[in-house]
């Protein structure tokens, strides 16, 4: 049995386990978010382990608009200088392009900010998965001393001074401006941040000519190598955990190991969770350099080579990297205002 065939078999087994874990996480005792898609909505979709992002999702447009204002409001930070959009810039892939985000008073964070686009489709939030929902995730940056450095009482007090906010919250939430209602509005806006209609999505919907020969060859290689075992589903990732350095010891070779590198181990204390992270989505990955939690890859080509070596045990040739990158570029979707969200009145 060749080395590549052995990894392909392992990849298939991992894919089956990931699929079960993903669906179990959705339906085992958890309420589905308002934006949840349903497979029956998609028609004539090609049978592949990746599924297309829906062209629209149904959300309350009034909450989306309110959440958008809050997302861009610096009053959510202690010194009125940082908003959610500061680290999740919607004009550049839903993140800031920095190795570490900069918070209040110029404080540097400890980890590379993930994209907010399509984050509503992730099964957990943050690199280590410590937040189960987008609503839970919002607590983190608002209160983190190196990010927005605020407290909920001061945020609510600041928002209550704004008559427009008072009116909008009163119209949408009987409780008015509260921690939970602010979080609900922001999370609703974030769920609207989908990027449908990528070239690869059009391929999945039956447009055979949407991919050129190299892009299609890159996708076939993506599956053959076993990348698909961790990067599948609608978000091409975001639905399972995996260890960074599955085949070779990434952190021993990189050096300078820090607490943030421990991943899920920091939450569970279990040795088997050391260096384990939520698999990132590859949607719009061509727009979100630098890559990985530690921002160790500045280009997509470097990221692909690192994944081949440390996750698959394969030294990829330049030609293989080139067509894989061609495929990954087909995952860049659209974010037109008219497709941000449907209206559910």
Catalytic positions, written as ranges: 147
If 0-12 CB within 10 Å is exposed, 13-18 middle and 19+ buried, where does residue 337 land? exposed
If 0-12 CB within 10 Å is exposed, 13-18 middle and 19+ buried, where does residue 113 land? buried
HSE-CB for 99 with a 13 A CA cutoff: 7
* DSSP letter, residue 314: -
Give CA–CA dist 74/81, Å, rounded. Answer: 5
Four-CA torsion 314, 316, 322, 324, nearest 10 degrees: -10
What are the backbone angles phi and psi of residue 242, rounded to the nearest 5°?
-155, 155
If 0-12 CB within 10 Å is exposed, 13-18 middle and 19+ buried, where does residue 318 land? exposed
Q: Structure tokens of 340?
A: 């941000």
What are the backbone angles phi and psi of residue 131, rounded to the nearest 5°?
-110, 130
Give CA–CA dist 106/89, Å, rounded. Answer: 17
Give CA–CA dist 106/112, Å, rounded. Answer: 16
Give CA–CA dist 203/211, Å, rounded. Answer: 7
- Chain centroid to CA 68: 18
């Amino acid at each position: 049995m060749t080395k590549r065939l052995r990894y392909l078999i392992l990849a298939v087994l991992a894919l089956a386990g990931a699929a079960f874990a993903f669906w179990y996480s959705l339906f085992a005792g958890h309420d589905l978010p308002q934006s949840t898609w349903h497979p029956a909505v998609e028609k004539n979709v090609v049978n592949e382990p990746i599924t297309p992002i829906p062209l629209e999702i149904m959300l309350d447009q009034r909450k989306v608009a309110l959440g958008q204002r809050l997302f861009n409001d610096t009053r959510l930070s202690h010194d009125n200088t940082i908003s959610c959009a500061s680290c999740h810039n919607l004009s550049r892939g839903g993140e800031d392009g920095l190795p570490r985000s900069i918070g209040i008073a110029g404080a540097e964070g400890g980890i590379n900010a993930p994209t907010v686009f399509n984050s509503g489709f992730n099964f957990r939030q943050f690199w280590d998965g410590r937040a189960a929902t987008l609503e839970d995730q919002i607590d983190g940056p608002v209160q983190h001393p190196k990010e927005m450095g605020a407290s909920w009482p001061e945020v609510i007090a600041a928002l209550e001074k704004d008559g427009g906010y008072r009116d909008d919250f009163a119209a949408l939430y009987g409780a008015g401006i509260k921690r939970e209602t602010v979080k609900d509005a922001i999370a609703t806006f974030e769920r609207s941040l989908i990027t449908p209609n990528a070239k690869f999505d059009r391929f999945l919907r039956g447009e055979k000519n949407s991919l050129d020969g190299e892009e299609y060859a890159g996708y076939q290689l993506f599956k053959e190598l076993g990348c698909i075992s961790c990067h599948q589903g609608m978000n091409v990732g975001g639905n399972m955990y995996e260890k960074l350095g599955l085949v070779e010891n990434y952190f021993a070779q990189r050096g300078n190991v820090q607490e943030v590198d421990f991943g899920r181990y920091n939450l569970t204390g279990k040795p088997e969770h050391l260096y384990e992270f939520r698999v990132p989505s590859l949607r719009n990955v061509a727009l979100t350099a630098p890559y990985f939690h530690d921002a160790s890859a500045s280009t997509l080509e470097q990221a692909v080579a690192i994944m081949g070596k440390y996750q698959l045990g394969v030294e990829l040739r330049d030609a293989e990297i080139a067509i894989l990158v061609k495929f990954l570029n087909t995952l860049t979707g659209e974010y037109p205002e008219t497709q941000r969200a449907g209206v559910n009145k």
